[in-house]
Structure 1
Amino acid sequence: MENHITLAKKLHVLFVDDERLIREMVSDMLSDTVGHVSLASNGQEGLDFYLNSLRPIDIVISDQTMPIMQGLDMLEKIKAHNPTQKCIMITAHSEAKYMLRAIEIGIENFIIKPIIFDKLDNILYDLALKIEQESQ
C-alpha cells in the first residue's frame, strides 16, 4: 500500500472560506500536501462547484461563518447528495451547538481556528488513507 504522503498527493480538495487572504494562505499550504486544490468564497459557490465539478472532490474543507450560505448548511447539502463525502469544518466558534450539528451531519473533523497546519496535514493524511481503504 502507498504511504499516506503519496496518497494525499492524489487528493482533490475543495476549500471554502469567504476571506480571500485565508483562502490564499490555506490554498498555498494545501498545495504542498494534496494534488489539486479548488477554492470557493461562500457556501453557495462551494455547493455549486461541488455539484458541477468535472473532477471528483475527495475532501471538502469549509469555514462556518460566511455570507450567502453558512458552512454547515453547505456541508449538510453535500452530505445529503453524497453521504460518503469526507468533510472538515473550520470555525472560530467552539460552541457545542456547532460541533453537535457537525456530528449530526456526519462531518469527519472539526478544527477550531487558528488553523494549525501540521494538524490539518495529519487529518488530510488520515482521510487519504481512509479514502484509499474504502475504494478497495
Structure 2
Amino acid sequence: MIKELKALSQQMHVLYVEDDKTIQKQMEVLLNKFFATVTVANDGTMGLRQYQQNINAYDIVLSDISMPMMNGLDMARAIKEINPEQMILLISAHNDSVNLQKASALGITSDYFIIKPIDKDRLLKALYQAVQKVQRAKKVQWP
C-alpha cells in the first residue's frame, strides 16, 4: 500500500493544520515523504486563511480538531462552504461520538476520522483511501 500511496500522491498538495509543534513536525516529515507539497498551519484560523488564499490548491486537508482560535470542525465547515467536494481528514485526541457525528454531518466519514495517538498504519490507510477518492474525482472532472 505504501508504494501505491507514493505513486498516487506524488503530484498532490496537502494543507496540514495542527497546533502541537512536536506532532506538527513529525507529521510534516511523514507527509513530505508522499506529497508534492505540505503546507502547515498552526490553528484553524490560519488554516482557513491559507485555504482561502489558495482555493483549489489543496487536494487534501488534514487537521486536528482541538485547537485554539478555531477548532478543526469549524474550519472544516467553513472549507466545505467554499468547496463541498474538498477531501478533509480530521484528527482527534478523543474517541467521542459527538465529534464523529459533527464530522459525518460535513461528509467526513469514520474512515477519515483519526484518533490520537496516531497509529501510522491507520493514518496511511486513511490517506491512501483519500488519495484514491481524489484521483477518481479528478478523472470524472477531467476525462
1:8–1:124: 8 Å Cα contact kept in structure 2?
A: no
Aligned 8 A contact 2:17 2:44 in 1: yes
- Indicate the residue corresponding to 1:112 in structure 2: 115
What is the CA-CA distance between 1:5 and the residue it aligns to? 2.6
Task: Look up the match of 1:135.
Answer: 138
TM-score (norm 1): 0.92
Map Cα deviations across residues 36-88 of structure 1 (whole Å, 9 max, x no partner): 11100000000000110277101111111111001100000001110000000
Q: Deviations along 1:15-49, whole A, 9 cap, x unmatched?
A: 10111111111000111122211100000000000
CA RMSD of aligned residues (A): 1.4
Task: Give the aligned length.
Answer: 134
Cross-structure match for 2:31: 30
Provide the rounded CA distance (Å) in 1 between the counterparts of 2:138 and 2:14.
Answer: 17
Indicate the percent of aligned positions where both proteins have the same amino acid: 36
Cα distance in 1 for residues equivalent to 2:127 and 2:48 = 21
| Unaligned stretches of 5+ residues in structure 1 | none
> Does the aligned pair in 2 maintain the 1:11–1:36 contact within 8 Å?
yes
CA distance in 1, matches of 2:126, 2:12: 13
- TM-score of the superposition, structure 2-length normalised? 0.88
Q: Tell me the residue number matched to 1:15.
A: 16
Pairing 1:61-100 to 2, within 5 Å after superposition: 61-100=62-101
Higher relative contact order (CA 8 A, sep 6+): 1
Report the residue type matching 1:36 in the other structure: T
Distance 1:117 1:32 in 2: 13
Q: Structure 2 unaligned runs (5+)?
A: none
Shift of 1:95: 1.2
**Structure 2 residue identity aligned to 1:126:** Q
Contact 2:17–2:42 (8 Å) recurs in 1: yes
